[in-house]
Each structure stands twice: as structure tokens, then as C-alpha cells.
Structure 1
């Protein structure tokens, strides 16, 4: 594996990659979520590279070694999909290879991957989502008023509502290591039910304060790996990553042109049985087959939590390789 920085049309992007880079190998793009980095895919980059694929995991816009444009409006879904289009073009122009790839996304990276396949199916020829199912645009209105109504009804704030506040990033930046340790713990499959986050926060608390002070690193997270996250978020902060959430209503407005479009390329979805995200987006799992017209696989991984590609790398790698063989065939 190697790490390098590419200048794409609109952004300097830091990538982790492995496998043949001469244009002979199928390209696989792996998109991370919050609060993660390209290194979250290290096990998959290695496995895919060894299998003969050109595997690439970027630090996404606002994260790690990739640039952080100013302004909330710079983090819309169209910006994020555009970054991936630019990255594929930059990678394939280096080698003269075909301008197409398979796109894989986890957490916030999953909506980006789904929309890559939805909007540019000629480039993103297959899509694999982890943890967050495709959620079609609801024509009745933008999502945040609905989320706030649910929060009011249950008497607890959905964390996404709290993230809308202009200073919400300070919650994480007061003690970066503690915030990351708590976040990874609260969404992990090894964490007991009564200590996992539900995504809904009690009055007077915030995302970090609600998680127990004695939260430990998940069993899969080594101190050295954790130190990489702490260094990256200490340097770059959390404001830009939270801008992804602050664009939710903007995304709803921007995507009106794509109302009722379906994803037609080959697709697959995997979620952890104990992923807390299922508390607020799990209902969309039941309708995936209605919106993904070539859904090849939909798997619930027993006992797993949210950080699938790091919690259960062997199972995720096997599923990815099976999917890639199914849709692309094995590399020569």
C-alpha cells in the first residue's frame, strides 16, 4: 500500500492505494464516513490489491490530508459526488485506463456511493453500501424538519439535529482523543446494549457527554491505529466533516431533478445486526429492492456494529471480493 496526494480538477485529495496502477486492473473506490479516514479501509485496500484490483481509499473532502474548502455550501452531495468523478478521471488519466470503477461506501460514504451510481452509472458501474441503505428523496419536504419532529416526539435530540449548530464541532475538539474513543465505542458491536448509543441524545447532553467516561477503544482498534485518527482530527478539526450533515436540507433541494430515479447498476448492501444507525435509517432496508433494480446481495452481519470494515474485515473482504467477481470477473 502507498499514500499519495493527487490534484484533481477542484481539490487536492489524499489517497491510500494498492494493487496494479498501470491501468490493467479494475478500479475500486472506497469511500469512508464520519469520523473516519481513508485508513479505515486499510484491510480492504490490502485484500483487494492482493487480489489484483486497483483499490483506492481517499480522505474525503474536509478530512485528513484532503483539502477543506470554506463554507457549508461546499459540502453538498453534488460536491462529494463530483470529487469522486474527478478522482476517477485523475486516476485513469494517469494510466490510460477506462474511466469507470466499482464504488464502495460506508456510513456517510454510503450515500455518496449510492448517489455516484444514481447520477453517473456509466462511470460507477456497480455499488456496494455498508451500514447506511439507499434512502430515496421524499417529495413531501426536506429531512431536518422531520428529524426535529421525531426528536420532539421522543423527547431526545437525534444527534444529526445537534450537528446543525454552527459551533457543534467544539463538542469534539475540546478533547479529540476522548471524543473519538467514545464515538467508536458507542457504535461498536462489542459494546453492551445498555451502553451503545441509540442516536438520540438526552436533554442537556451532547454526542460526546452522553457516552460513559469509561468507554474503551473497541477490541479491533489498536493504539497505533487510534493515534492516526487523533492526529488527523487534531490537525483538521471537525467543522468541515460536520458540514456534510449541515447540507442535508440543501441536498434535498439540489436533488429535486433526480426525484424517483432508481439505481440500475449491480448493487449490494451489508449492515451490522447491532448497528445503532438502524434505529433511524433501518426502515429503508426493507425497500432497498424497490430502488436498487439489480440488488445482488443484502446481508445482515450477526453481532456486528457500525464500523463493519474494521470490526469484521474478513467477512467484509469476502463479500466484496464475491461481489466484484460477480459483476466484473476476476482480474487477469
Structure 2
């Protein structure tokens, strides 16, 4: 991560490390973590309560992406300002979780593109190829393989006093940024291929083609959002593995910090894109708010009626007409 300092020799390792995180940075991390947690929880709640994965098996991929982003918001964003105070025994599990979640999010975006490619290329056989059981197996295999891979990568980390000062083998760790870059570029390439195939379909009427592109809108928006918010930082981080200390200058530091902030914002906004671009989430969220509004109106009406019934009867003087 951008906040990780590298230890290169014993002299630097002996120096006490101060994080010097500002109040603004603390507010940034915590607010992004809270907002991301709320909206990812909403996405997961809607998916688990209202969506039938037998009918919409691709939603299993969306659920996996939401789980990965939710864990990032909880484990990383909300704790980053206080990471230097963590017990060193927590450092390995900490990086295992955040690396696995980030890789899982990128890889599931690839699976989402593969799913849509099958849907576009083999529409008549789609339901024979893609089903709930197969996607559950793919999801389990994805998490399992990435956990094992990151256990291997994290085992090479050596922490110097806290979870921010890290010494590691760059030849082993380089696989990490390469994985991100390859997955993001693969997703973008698949989305471009899907767009070209869908755009060149000649047997469809314009109305059907318009409906198809509306179905693809979530895929394209998610892929483009990930491409522009995640790839620049990953490329800069990968480039640093080759240029070494020549990259340690103000311009490079400013660029990596800027794009890292954009990456954090991107993770926070991912669930909002899911809700905004997928009809089932918009409708479900509308129903939830509609019920809340209806319940609120009912409670107000009941309180008003109760107050009216408890009000003492008005005294009407008798008239004596003489």
C-alpha cells in the first residue's frame, strides 16, 4: 500500500518510525471506510434478501466483489490512521486480508466480464454454461487460491517494529502489482471486446440492441471506473520496483499519493455504482425507502389520532332561547 515504508538497512531500521498522519488524512480514511461499509452492507443485504441467484447466477460475482470491498473498508480504511500502533503479531493477518480482498475484487471483475462475454457470444447456451453451482465453485476456488497465494507472499514480509515498516524481497513482491495490472487490463480488454461484439450484432433490432446495452451498462461502468481509479496507482507502484530510489522525489511522491487517494475513493464508490447501474438494486432500495416512509407516515397518523382521542371534549355552553 502507499502508506508502507520500506526498510533497506539496519541504520534505518533502528530509527523510531513516526507515521505523522494528519487529522485530514484520518478523517479521509475513516469517512471513506464508514460510507463504504454502509453502502456495501446495503448491496449485500439486498443481494441476499431479494435476489435469486438461481435465476441470476452472475450476482454471485457481484456479492463476492461487495464482500471484498466491505472487508477493505472495515479492515483497512477504518484502521489505517492507527496502523502504527498495531501489535506486530497482527501485521501478517492484516496484509493477508487486504491483499486477498484487493486481488479478489480485481479477479471477480474479470469473471464478470467473462460471464458477459459468454452471454453475448453464446446466448443460446449461456444457461448451460453458467449456473449457480458452477459460480459457487469458481467463487470458492478464487478465494481459496488467493488466500494461499497471499499466505505465501505475506510470509516474506519482515516487520520492523510496526506494521508500516516492512522489509521484503522485491523479486517476490513484484508479483503483487503485476497481478493487479494484468487483471485490470484484462477486464478492460474483455469489456472492449464485448462492446465491439454487441455493437456489430446485425440480427438484432435497435430496440433489442438498446436493451442489451442497458444490461451491459453495469459491466462497462464498473470496468471503466476500476480502470481509471485503480490502474494509475498500480502502474506507478509497479514502476517503482524497477526504478528503485530514483523514483523517490517530490513529483513521484505527489503522484502516488494522489492516485492512492483516488483508489480509496474508487473502492468507496463501487457499491454506489452497483446500486445506480443495476435495476434490481435500485428497485429494492426504492421499496425499502418506500416502506420506511410508509411506516413513518403511519406512525405520525397514529400519534395524531391518539393525541386527538386523548384530548378532553370541548365544553359547549347550553343556549337558552327565551
TM-score between the two structures when normalised by the length of structure 2:
0.25
Name the structure with the higher helix share. 2
TM-score between the two structures when normalised by the length of structure 1:
0.24
